[in-house]
């Protein structure tokens, strides 16, 4: 007799232990979605490691151990997401306090009035901190094309900010020069 069929072995383990595992993860999670995710990840691990699963009652205990690790990973991930969200909220609050002379809502509206290509280009520079060579790689064009597009996008943004009656002086002399067509 040859080696056991992994698919059949997995199906037997799944049928025999699904209900126990479902109860185990449901009692340790906050939502049905979290329980479903943990159960799915537990059985995915079991499928990948079906040859490592012990026989008989030990299989259920092995699955509990896997589920325990999956749940611990879920909790760590949730803690990281919560910490990140808190840190971002704090940074945004600090940014708004540090820059009271800027009307964030009006700036956001001016930015949104730009075309999607201009918004993407300005975002790559401002938010992602990419230089023109890196942006050229991302956009699949030449560095010269990026410089030209960036110049034009900045001019359009300066016009939108001016149209929103925002004082461009607070953004520096380059913003004023862009509006006047000097740069």
- pLDDT above 70 for 183: no
In a domain, 1, yes or no: no
Domain span at residue 62 reads 6-96
In the listed set 57, 76, 96, which residue is the last one of a domain according to the structure?
A: 96
Domain count, the chain: 2
Per-residue pLDDT of 142-156, as tens digits, reads 999 999 999 999 889
In the listed set 63, 96, 129, which residue is the last one of a domain according to the structure?
A: 96
Report the CATH number at residue 109. Answer: 1.10.10.10
Per-residue pLDDT of 124-133, as tens digits, reads 888 888 899 9
Q: Is 118 exposed, middle or buried (0-12, 13-18, 19+ CB in 10 A)?
A: buried
Lowest mean pLDDT among 86-90, 94-98, 164-168: 94-98
Q: Is 121 exposed, middle or buried (0-12, 13-18, 19+ CB in 10 A)?
A: buried
Report the CATH number at residue 70. Answer: 1.10.1740.10
Of all helices (H) and strands (E), which one includes residue 58? Answer: helix 57-98
- Residue 36 is predicted with a pLDDT of 96
Judge if 84 and 131 occupy the same domain. Answer: no
pTM given for the model: 0.50
């Amino acid at each position: 007799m040859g080696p056991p069929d992994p698919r059949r072995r997995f199906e037997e383990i799944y049928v025999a232990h699904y209900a126990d595992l479902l109860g185990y993860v449901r009692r340790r999670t906050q939502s049905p979605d979290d329980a479903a995710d943990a159960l799915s990840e537990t059985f995915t691990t079991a499928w990948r490691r079906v040859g490592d699963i012990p026989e008989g009652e030990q299989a259920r205990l092995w699955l509990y151990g896997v589920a325990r690790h999956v749940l611990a990973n879920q909790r760590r991930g949730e803690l990281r997401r919560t910490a990140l969200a808190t840190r971002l909220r704090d940074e945004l609050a600090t940014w708004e306090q540090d820059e009271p002379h800027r009307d964030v809502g009006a700036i956001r509206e001016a930015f949104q009035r730009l075309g999607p290509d201009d918004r993407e280009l300005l975002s790559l520079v401002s938010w992602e901190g990419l230089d023109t060579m890196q942006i050229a790689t991302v956009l699949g064009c030449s560095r010269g094309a990026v410089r030209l597009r960036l110049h034009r996008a900045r001019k359009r943004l300066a016009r939108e900010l001016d149209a929103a009656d925002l004082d461009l002086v607070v953004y520096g002399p380059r913003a004023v020069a862009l509006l006047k067509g000097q740069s």
